Structure 1
């Protein structure tokens, strides 16, 4: 992966995360209530936000690379959240998906729009056959989002996650290329 793949949707720009996003990353990832399902402890200082930015950027250079996009509105700059495809297994043609959105941006269909765009991109540009997600069973919003996107519940991974000092079960979801009917109303433009 060389140039960062910027994606434009009707309302959003999915773009590379940059150092000026650190305050917004900190605000999102330090919100304990919003991050209770994310799979890591909330961050507590700007240095951790800087490290998170560096981690997301490093995904593109890993042996099994991935991409983490910053999400912002086209009409109103400012980071709203992130979404990404990671743990790309080229031989198996599979990867995992992850996402988070600031509470103020939730409930507006923004993550649905972002995920549809990156799913299209993953199937088109990474030659994926399968995209996986693991979600806490009580994270109802993410479970509904994945199901609306066509992901199929495949089972429960017992105590697969550990954060906030406890082990957590995770629901396993999968989406196959054959199940993805690239949604017609969304016209994502890959820049």
Structure 2
């Protein structure tokens, strides 16, 4: 992939995550309530946040690359969203996202995902985007449905975090269905 694709929406700046974002990433990822749906145990030290930022940067060098944007509102990092596991032959990928507790309920993630999906469909030529969501993560399920994602099934015990196995719902969006709702 080429230079990092920065994106702008009405209120947000979607940009590359950098080392100086580690404290904000740690604040989000160390919050047990936030991580109960993320698919990972809460972070316990800043080094884990630094390693996660490095992992996201490394995604762009993989044969099936991914891009993870930091979501910035008024100069503050409030979350991230990304497209990953890009299969160029199938024109498909997965998406994931998280938002700081204080930024929820303001329509920010919907705005960020619209910008990201516009970019992915235009520049990655995506035919399909899928999301795996915990069945009890109602806020994410509603958001994805508002964006046009359709429920396709359940992957039984596909996730493992918090010392437990978790079912995951599969939702998919086809490029031809995308209307930037």
Which TM-score applies when normalising by structure 1?
A: 0.94
Q: Which residue does the alignment assign to 1:164?
A: 162
CA distance in 2, matches of 1:70, 1:181: 24
CA distance in 1, matches of 2:58, 2:146: 30
Q: In angstroms, what is the RMSD of aligned CA positions? A: 0.6
Does residue 33 of structure 2 align to residue 33 of structure 1? yes
CA distance in 2, matches of 1:182, 1:148: 10
| Cα shift at 1:20 | 1.0
| Cα shift at 1:179 | 0.7
| Cα shift at 1:144 | 0.4
Q: Which residue does the alignment assign to 1:17?
A: 17
Does residue 143 of structure 2 align to residue 145 of structure 1? yes
CA distance in 1, matches of 2:50, 2:178: 35
Q: Which runs of 5+ in 1 are unaligned?
A: 184-191
CA distance in 1, matches of 2:163, 2:99: 23
SS at match of 2:172: strand
SS at match of 1:38: coil
Aligned positions of 1:74-85 closer than 5 A = 76-85=74-83
Equivalent residue pairs, number: 181
Q: Which residue does the alignment assign to 1:6?
A: 6
CA distance in 2, matches of 1:175, 1:116: 12
| Cα shift at 1:182 | 3.2
| Cα shift at 1:178 | 1.2
Does residue 96 of structure 2 align to residue 90 of structure 1? no
Does residue 44 of structure 2 align to residue 44 of structure 1? yes
Q: Which residue does the alignment assign to 1:71?
A: 71
Q: Which runs of 5+ in 2 are unaligned?
A: none
Q: Is contact 2:65-2:84 (8 Å) kept? A: yes
CA deviations over 1:66-89 (Å, ceiling 9, x no partner): 10000011xx20110000000000
Q: Is contact 2:160-2:166 (8 Å) kept? A: yes
Q: Which residue does the alignment assign to 1:60?
A: 60
Deviation >4 Å, runs of 4+:
none
Q: Which residue does the alignment assign to 1:126?
A: 124
